[in-house]
């Protein structure tokens, strides 16, 4: 019985990581750089396999001035190392770190 309980706990824990993405992606303003129109304003987005997703869990201005001419998300596309899941056509980030 103890082995079955341990197995069930292991299976439950392994399911929590299901569909989690962990990779380096393009990150930028969804509206200014990726041409996304489902939201107004400037919002952080990433591209995974060529498809753009708005990001939840971090905001565009959490990573500097979005309109900075040199490296702002509304001006350039940058690289980010991300971890999270795609839920309801949005990327829910558990980690989001810029790669220089």
Asked if the model's pLDDT at residue 52 lies above 70, the reply is: yes
Position 21 scores a pLDDT of: 83
Average pLDDT over residues 46-74: 96
Give the contacts of 57 (CB within 8 A, at least 6 positions apart). 84, 92, 93, 94, 96
Yes or no: domain 19-99 corresponds to CATH 2.40.50.430 = yes
Asked if the model's pLDDT at residue 61 lies above 70, the reply is: yes
> How many CB atoms sit inside 10 A of residue 3's CB?
7
pTM of the shown model: 0.80
Higher pLDDT, 11 or 89: 89
């Amino acid at each position: 019985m103890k082995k079955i309980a341990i197995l069930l706990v292991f299976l439950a824990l392994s399911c929590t990581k299901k569909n989690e993405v962990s990779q380096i992606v393009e990150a930028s303003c969804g509206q200014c750089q990726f041409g996304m129109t489902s939201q107004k304003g400037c919002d952080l987005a990433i591209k995974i396999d060529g498809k753009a997703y708005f990001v939840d869990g971090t905001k565009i201005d959490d990573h500097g001035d979005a309109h900075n001419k040199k490296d702002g998300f509304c001006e350039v596309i940058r690289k980010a190392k991300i971890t999270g899941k795609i839920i309801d056509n949005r990327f829910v980030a558990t980690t989001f770190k810029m790669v220089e």
